[in-house]
Chain A
Amino acid sequence: MFKEFSGKSVFGGIAIGKICIYRKQDNLVKRQKIDDPEAEIARFDKAREDAKAQLQGLHDKALKEVGEANAMVFEVHQMMLDDLDYVESVQNIIRTQQVNAEFATATTGDNFSEMFASMDDDYMRERAADVKDISNRVVAILSGNEGGGFNATEPSILLAEDLAPSETVQLDKSMVLSFVTHLGSTNSHTAILARTMNIPALIGIDFPEDADGHMGIVDGFEGKFYIDPSEELLAEYQAKLDKELEKQRLLQELKGKENVTLDGTKINLYANIGSVKDVADVLKNDAGGIGLFRSEFLYLESSTYPSEEEQFKAYKTVAENMAGKKVIIRTLDIGADKQVDYFDLGKEDNPALGYRAIRICLDRVDIFKTQLRALYRASYYGKISIMFPMIISVDEVKKIKEIVAEVKKELDEQNIPYGEVETGIMIETPAAVWMSEELAQEVDFFSIGTNDLTQYTLAIDRQNPKLDAINDTHHPAILKSIETTIKNGHKGGAWVGICGELGADPTLTETFLRMGVDELSVSPSRILAVRDVIRKIDLSK
């Protein structure tokens, strides 16, 4: 059954492959009366055994991939399933209330998790999640509702209603050829992930549920999606895909070449990354440094606050692998659409205008200091710069500098070495643009975050797909803001870079160079394409 769909492209490219639908774990449990409690208990026992077998599989996989310490959690989950308090509670509910095993399991899971959650201790809240997790697993098996998540066994086209950041973190990215979602906007995290991975992505595709396992084609250039394409269409797209690959191969020849215009203007071309693993792509694509290392992954992938030691190791690894090239690490930028359970940030009416990024760090200084200590310690092993997000005032920067001074003093007293660290701020609020002349006096560099700057300047929620049509990223107000920031930055002695999505927009590269930008930081996969554009520009004309 051939089907054709039109949607909106968020990243170009061609993908051909099997379709795999990402299913959210949906365990809506109904309470049902049953006649035979013993049979129901037998069902529960069987599901519990199956769940343990699954966990054993996950344990063995994790043991190979991430080591014993990280695999232990799956063993602990197995032990929880064997815990007599847990098992007896489920059995009791089935017997006394004469209800189905699903309901008894879910209720027991809720009871235990509430007990842990009420202990008012960050660590215990995590255990609440553990109990929920094992209960959900058993309920999913009982109700035949398994196969949640993304279970591709070969590289596939991923179809989803929508993907949350926490869900994309857990994806096995080597199995994803393309992202196709029903919801989501051009600036959603899935879109950013697609750009980072250099794979095509579409949004606004209302796909049929029975597409799972069928053959598909994604055309990220035209915004088209095909299910069960004909032989001719397949051949046509295979030819396009081959051409695309050839183009990428040609770009590879730009490796080792300078980022210099025809008239001799040189700029720095750095890469944006979101985890330690991305460093390989940075080096592969010949970036001159890392212009934005988002440190959130440390917090998003962890179930509790990452320790100084964990952070230090991650930063040190990146600094060492970059071997003396600049690594600009942005301090914690959570809140708004990036939620981390254990931070317990609470619900906000206007999260984008809310408690996020530097606002959290200046309020919960202990978390901020832990990160700063790790960063300074790692700076001894490479060329690390630190950048602070969501700045709106000179006062904030002064407060940050006081805290940085305290951290350095503590390290001095403990005889812990650290290197020379440049500090800079993100310019991503209109307030920071207006104050850029004063702010430049306080820091070594500016990095313009165009995604948030666009959102805050145009007052357009970047998560709202309804506004995509009027979300003009080339709006003159944005370009004027960038120009002002560069001019004022230079006046105050700060160098200025652009690290948002706009930095990789080839139609604006010349405009930015004429404004005098010192650095562009783009996804690793975009480095060579932007270099190609730079090398064809002549600013003397």
Chain B
Amino acid sequence: MKEFNYTITDPEGIHARPAGLFVKAAAAYPCNVTIAKDGKEVDAKRILGVMSLGVKQGMEVTIKCDGDQEDTAVAELEKFMKENL
């Protein structure tokens, strides 16, 4: 299992549009991907769950990848977060 932490810099947080992009990015990998905030962890491939975290600017999230291609997934998702969120 691989994981990383990231603090959201986008002033709007993980809103509908970026949430959609993020879920799409996560769904591209065969491994399990989760995203957690304040101890609440959800499946990163399910958009309603991701939205339900209500992530805003300045909040830290933890993303975990477990399974096939977890190395690539972690690297690519971290890059995605930095570019989009």
Please give the residue numbers on chain A whose beta carbons come within 8 Å of chain B beta carbons, in ascending order.
69, 72-73, 75-76, 79-80, 83-86, 112, 115-116, 119, 121, 123-124, 126-127, 130-131
Question: Which of the 9-residue segments B10-18, B59-67, B72-80 touches chain A?
Answer: B10-18
A72-B20, A76-B20, A79-B20 are known contacts. Are A123 and B13 too (CB-CB below 8 A)? yes
- Give A64 Cβ to nearest chain B Cβ, in Å: 18
A80 lies within 8 A of B19 (CB): no
Task: Point out the residues of chain A lying under 8 angstroms from B51, CB to CB.
Answer: 116, 124, 127
Question: Which of the 9-residue segments B1-9, B28-36, B42-50 touches chain A?
Answer: B42-50
Task: Point out the residues of chain A lying under 8 angstroms from B49, CB to CB.
Answer: 83, 85
Task: Point out the residues of chain A lying under 8 angstroms from B20, CB to CB.
Answer: 72, 75-76, 79
Q: CB of B54 within 8 A of chain A?
A: yes
Complex CA–CA separation, A126 to B54 (angstroms): 12
- Give A417 Cβ to nearest chain B Cβ, in Å: 24
Total A-B residue contacts, Cβ distance less than 8 Å:
47
Can you name 18 extra interface pairs (CB under 8 A) apart from A79-B20, A79-B24? A72-B21, A75-B20, A76-B16, A76-B19, A80-B47, A83-B48, A84-B43, A85-B49, A86-B48, A112-B48, A116-B52, A119-B52, A119-B54, A121-B54, A123-B12, A123-B13, A124-B51, A127-B16
Task: Point out the residues of chain B lying under 8 angstroms from A127, CB to CB.
Answer: 16, 51
Task: Point out the residues of chain B lying under 8 angstroms from A124, CB to CB.
Answer: 51, 54
- Give B15 Cβ to nearest chain A Cβ, in Å: 6
Taking a contact as CB atoms closer than 8 A, the residue among A83, A119, A123 that contacts B15 in the complex is: A123
Task: Point out the residues of chain A lying under 8 angstroms from B47, CB to CB.
Answer: 76, 79-80, 83
A79-B24, A119-B54, A124-B54 are known contacts. Are A72 and B16 too (CB-CB below 8 A)? yes
Task: Point out the residues of chain B lying under 8 angstroms from A84, CB to CB.
Answer: 43, 46
Q: What is the interface size of chain B, counting residues whose CB is below 8 A from a CB of the partner? A: 18
B16 lies within 8 A of A130 (CB): yes
Q: CB of B81 within 8 A of chain A?
A: no
Task: Point out the residues of chain B lying under 8 angstroms from A116, CB to CB.
Answer: 51-52
Please give the residue numbers on chain B whose beta carbons come within 8 Å of chain A beta carbons, in ascending order.
12-13, 15-17, 19-21, 23-24, 43, 46-49, 51-52, 54
Whose C-beta in chain B lies nearest to the C-beta of A88?
B46
Complex CA–CA separation, A130 to B51 (angstroms): 11
- Give B23 Cβ to nearest chain A Cβ, in Å: 6
A73 lies within 8 A of B16 (CB): yes
B13 lies within 8 A of A79 (CB): no
A85 lies within 8 A of B48 (CB): yes
Complex CA–CA separation, A79 to B15 (angstroms): 14
Task: Point out the residues of chain A lying under 8 angstroms from B54, CB to CB.
Answer: 119, 121, 123-124
Taking a contact as CB atoms closer than 8 A, the residue among A73, A115, A121, A131 that contacts B17 in the complex is: A73
Complex CA–CA separation, A73 to B18 (angstroms): 10
Whose C-beta in chain A lies nearest to the C-beta of B14?
A123
Complex CA–CA separation, A79 to B27 (angstroms): 11
Task: Point out the residues of chain A lying under 8 angstroms from B24, CB to CB.
Answer: 79
Whose C-beta in chain A lies nearest to the C-beta of B45?
A84
Whose C-beta in chain B lies nearest to the C-beta of A76?
B20
- Give A42 Cβ to nearest chain B Cβ, in Å: 23
The 9 A-B pairs of least Cβ separation, nearest first, read A76-B20, A72-B17, A79-B47, A83-B48, A76-B16, A83-B46, A83-B47, A85-B48, A85-B46
Complex CA–CA separation, A455 to B54 (angstroms): 43
Task: Point out the residues of chain B lying under 8 angstroms from A119, CB to CB.
Answer: 52, 54
30 A–B contacts from the bound complex (CB under 8 Å)? A69-B17, A72-B16, A72-B17, A72-B21, A73-B16, A73-B17, A76-B16, A76-B20, A76-B47, A79-B20, A79-B23, A79-B47, A80-B48, A83-B46, A83-B47, A83-B48, A84-B43, A84-B46, A85-B48, A86-B48, A116-B51, A121-B54, A123-B12, A123-B13, A123-B15, A123-B54, A124-B51, A127-B16, A127-B51, A130-B16
